[in-house]
A = this chain, B = another copy of it.
Amino acid sequence: MRNVSARDVSASSRPLPRPGRALTLEDVAARAGVSRALVSIVMREAPGASAMTRQRVLAVAEELGYRPDIRARLLARRRTRLLGVTLALNNPFHADITEGIYAAAEPLGYQVVLSAVTGTREPGQAVDTLLSYRCEAAILLGALMPNSALAAVAEMLPVVVVGQPTSNPGVDVVRAADDQGMRLAVDHLVELGHRSIVHVDGGRAPGAAARRDGYQAAMKQRGLAPTIQIFAGGDAEDDGAAAARTLAAAYIPDAVVTYNDRSAVGLLDVFARSGITVPGNISVVGYDDSQVAWLPYLRLTTVSQDATQLASLAVERAVARLEHQQIADREVTLTPHLVVRGTTGPART
C-alpha cells in the first residue's frame, strides 16, 4: 500500500494525485513472498504455478491494486500480439467495424491499438504510430495512404484493408461485393416497377468506384442501360443533399441508389423539405446499414455490409497471416444483403 496511505491535505486544499511510482511485479512478489517470475506466470495465466500460489498471488495483486505494465510486457514478449487499426472518428460505419474488431481480437489473444485519421492527421501518420508500437498487423478502415506508401507498409507487416478494393497485390482485402450489393438494390427497385433509377455516387470515397460500376452493370443487365444516370456525390450528408437539389431541379426519377447511408440521409432531408414524398414520389436505397439506417424515423432501405462479420473476417485474416496459415486468396468478399425498410415502395402508375 506504499504511496497510497499518505495524503498530504495540509499543503494544498486540492487532493493531489500522486502518480508516484506504479506498482511492479517486484512489489507483488515481495508481498506474496515469491519470486517475480512466479508472479509473472500467474498474471499472464501461464502454466507453472500451483493453484494455491496462484490464488495467493492474485489476492495480493488485487489487494495492492497491481496492474501489469503493458509497455514492459510488449517489450519483453517475443510477440506483441498487437493489432493496429486506423479509422475515421466521425464515421458510423467505422465505429461499427471497430467495435467488431475489439470483439473478435480478444478471444484470439490479440490486443487492439487505435489510431485516428482526422482532418489534420493523415492516414500515413496514423499508420506510423501503429508501426512505432510494433503492431504485428494493420487493419485499415477508410481513407488510405498513397499506393506506393501502402506497398511499403505491406512489406513490413500484414495489412488488411476493409471495405474497398485495392490495386495493391501485397495487401489483403475484406469487403462486401459492391457489385452484388448494387445489383440487389437495382433488382429490388426494378421488381417494384421502377425504371428510371439513378445513382448518386461517392466520388473518390473508398469503394465508390466499385459501386458505380456495380450500378451500371446491374442496370445493363436489366436492360436499363439507356436510363443509366450518375450524379456526382460524396461520402457525407451534404453530398447527398446537393445531389438531391440538382435532381429535384432537373426531373424526378423513379428511384435513387446512393453511395452510402449518410448520402441518403441528406437526400431524404432535401426531399422532405421539397415536398417530395418517399417512397410515394421516389424510392431511395442507401448503403452500409449503419446505425442511422435503422433509426425509426428514417427506416432506410439499404444494403447491409454486416460490419460485425467484416470486422471478424479482417481480424481472422490478419491473424492467419501472422500465424503463417495457408491462404489462397488475397481478397475475402462477403455477400451483402438488402434490408428493405420504409424508403422504397411500388412505382407510381
When the two chains form their complex, are residues A71 and B67 in contact, meaning their CB atoms are under 8 A apart?
A: no
Report chain B residues within 8 Å CB of A72: 75
Whether the Cβ atoms of B67 and A75 lie closer than 8 Å is no
Say how far A342's CB is from chain B's closest CB, in angstroms: 11
Whole-angstrom CA separation of A26 from B38 in the bound complex: 32
CA distance A157 to B15 in the complex (A): 11
Would you call A272 an interface residue if the criterion is a C-beta within 8 Å of the partner chain's C-beta atoms? yes
Residues of A149-164 whose CB lies within 8 A of B: 154-159
Interface of A is mostly: mixed
User: In the bound complex, what is the Cα–Cα distance between A321 and B71 (angstroms)?
Assistant: 23
A157 in contact with B17 given A89-B99, A99-B89, A296-B241 (CB within 8 Å): yes
Interface-forming stretch among A127-135, A173-181, A201-209, A249-257?
A127-135
Listed in ascending order, the chain A residues whose CB lies under 8 Å from chain B are: 4, 14-15, 17-19, 22, 67-72, 74-75, 80, 87-90, 92, 94-96, 98-99, 102-103, 114-116, 118-121, 128-129, 131-134, 136, 154-159, 169-170, 236-238, 241-242, 244, 266, 268-270, 272-273, 291-292, 295-298, 321-322, 327, 330
A-B contact pairs, 26 of them (CB 8 A): A14-B327, A15-B154, A19-B158, A67-B132, A69-B75, A71-B133, A87-B89, A88-B95, A89-B98, A89-B99, A90-B92, A90-B96, A90-B291, A99-B121, A102-B116, A102-B118, A102-B120, A114-B116, A238-B295, A241-B297, A244-B297, A266-B297, A269-B272, A269-B297, A269-B298, A270-B297
